[in-house]
Amino acid sequence: MGSYDDSPPVKELNLNGPGFPIRLEPLRANGWLHDMKVSSPTASPMNNDISGTLFNPVYRAWIKKYPSALNVFDKIVACGRGKKIALFLDYDGTLSPIVDEPDNAVMSDQMREVVRNAAIHLPTAIISGRAVDKVFDFVKLTELYYAGSHGMDIMGPVGKSSSVADHRSCTNSNKGKEVKIFQAATEFLPVIEEVFRLLVESTKGIHGAKVENNKFCVSVHYRNVDEKDWTLVAQCTDDILKMYPRLQLCHGRKVLEVRPVIDWNKGKAVEFLLDSLGLAHSDSVLPIYIGDDRTDEDAFKVLRDCKQGIGILVSSVPKESHALYSLVDPSEVMDFLKRLMIWKEQEATSR
Ligand SMILES: O=P(O)(O)OC[C@H]1O[C@H](O[C@H]2O[C@H](CO)[C@@H](O)[C@H](O)[C@H]2O)[C@H](O)[C@@H](O)[C@@H]1O
């Protein structure tokens, strides 16, 4: 199974709005189709061959704008000197490579060890579009905070969560290891369940289509659908979404994401966690967010706007972003995290 780069090319992104939701319009399925194509180039000249891209002027201009976090590592850690670093990591495409089958997006043991080491020393959270239980099953680390369903369902480690457990929607412990500390859209649970069932039914005739229940949102995957049938996927999703004005659509990597129209996203989840951990608005904290998807832009924007943190976009193709730096793929993410932890240890012993 290879890795993919199906990110929208430069200039094609609309960076407005939380997670770039697509507003409801007549004939919108046609508009979606355009976005589906734009966000899913069939082949990337940069795939697995970064060296060739260095001769590409568009890529060269882009990498100048979003320098590699590995190349500017010293600059990044200089910002963190004497500060507490808080780490926020997206899952798919950041900690695990993009694969055809969403259920197979496993994280390597090596990556798990690197993330575990980070979580032992730094407040660390995984912020994912997946249901929180599903991402926990992949990551299997109890030392972390998890924000599933694009930040709408936040869970933390037992023992560390008491300070944040007084927030609304606090629920009981999960699997005896983690505590749910915040759910932003509980009233949407029945409607999401209903829409999930309708979408499964309406797309069942489309070869390769897959509908995933992410608890507070639904993903309609078209990665394995023949491009000539993408219109059908868009139409089926549109037909159902029309009946639910309180739901909206966002585009991901060969996936249509159906989610509640609420003022909550990955950026809000980052703010919530920083605040809950007593790490917000502090000059002595450096939040670092690493992600690859459009929905991660909300978090990059929060960090950029508050001038408090650093966003790192994982991408091997040029695309506009609110991030400051870039990394090519999950293996570079792993290298960056390893270096960060080595630096952190050295910094701690030199004090
Ligand atoms: O926020 P994330 O952790 O990045 O989750 C976003 C979506 O990721 C998953 O889909 C993507 O990864 C799959 C596995 O590599 C791939 O097959 C799919 O095409 C990608 O869109 C996940 O399955 C979705 O539910 C998440 O919303």
Whether the per-residue pLDDT at 41 is higher than 80: the answer is: no
pLDDT value of position 134: 96
Answering whether pTM is above 0.90, one says no
pLDDT tens-digit readout, 192-213: 999 999 999 999 999 999 999 9
CA pair distance 127, 93, nearest whole angstrom:
12
- Give the percent of the chain with pLDDT over 90: 70
Whether the per-residue pLDDT at 3 is higher than 70: the answer is: no
pLDDT tens-digit readout, 198-252: 999 999 999 999 999 999 999 999 999 999 999 999 999 999 999 999 999 999 9
CA pair distance 19, 155, nearest whole angstrom:
21
Mean pLDDT value across residues 108-129:
97
Mean pLDDT value across residues 330-342:
98
Mean pLDDT value across residues 297-318:
94
Mean pLDDT value across residues 173-189:
73
Using DSSP bridges, classify how beta strands 255-260 and 218-221 pair: parallel, antiparallel or unpaired.
Answer: antiparallel
Mean pLDDT value across residues 47-63:
75
pLDDT value of position 331: 98
Contact between residue 313 and residue 326 where contact means Cβ atoms under 8 Å apart:
yes
40 lines ligand 1 (CB under 6 A): no
| Å from CA of 184 to ligand 1 middle | 21
5 lines ligand 1 (CB under 6 A): no
CB burial class (10 A; 0-12, 13-18, 19+) of residue 231?
Answer: middle
Whether the per-residue pLDDT at 34 is higher than 50: the answer is: yes
Confidence of residue 271 (pLDDT cuts 50, 70, 90): very high
Q: CA 91 → CA 44, 66, 80, 103, 315, distances in Å?
A: 22, 21, 23, 13, 14
Whether the per-residue pLDDT at 345 is higher than 60: the answer is: yes
Tokens in use for 198? 């309708």
- Long-range contact set of residues 60-66: C-beta below 8 Å, sequence gap at least 24: 61/318, 62/10, 62/318, 62/319, 63/318, 63/326, 66/313, 66/321, 66/323, 66/324, 66/325, 66/326
Mean pLDDT value across residues 164-189:
61
Whether the per-residue pLDDT at 159 is higher than 60: the answer is: no
311 lines ligand 1 (CB under 6 A): no
183 lines ligand 1 (CB under 6 A): no
CA pair distance 197, 212, nearest whole angstrom:
10
Mean pLDDT value across residues 61-88:
96
| Å from CA of 94 to ligand 1 middle | 10
Using DSSP bridges, classify how beta strands 285-291 and 84-89 pair: parallel, antiparallel or unpaired.
Answer: parallel
Ligand 1: which of 101, 111, 217, 255 to mutate, judged by most atoms within 8 Å of the beta carbon? 255
Contact between residue 289 and residue 85 where contact means Cβ atoms under 8 Å apart:
no
Whether the per-residue pLDDT at 261 is higher than 50: the answer is: yes
Mean pLDDT value across residues 141-166:
78
Whether the per-residue pLDDT at 164 is higher than 80: the answer is: no
Confidence of residue 299 (pLDDT cuts 50, 70, 90): very high
Sequence-ordered list of residues with C-beta below 8 angstroms from that of 89, at least 6 positions apart, any chain = 95, 115, 124, 125, 126, 127, 289, 290, 291, 333
Residue positions annotated with a catalytic role: 90
| Å from CA of 285 to ligand 1 middle | 30
Neighbours of 99 (CB within 10 A): 17
Domains and CATH numbers, the chain: 67-158+178-184+264-285+297-314+324-350 (3.40.50.1000), 188-260 (3.30.70.1020)
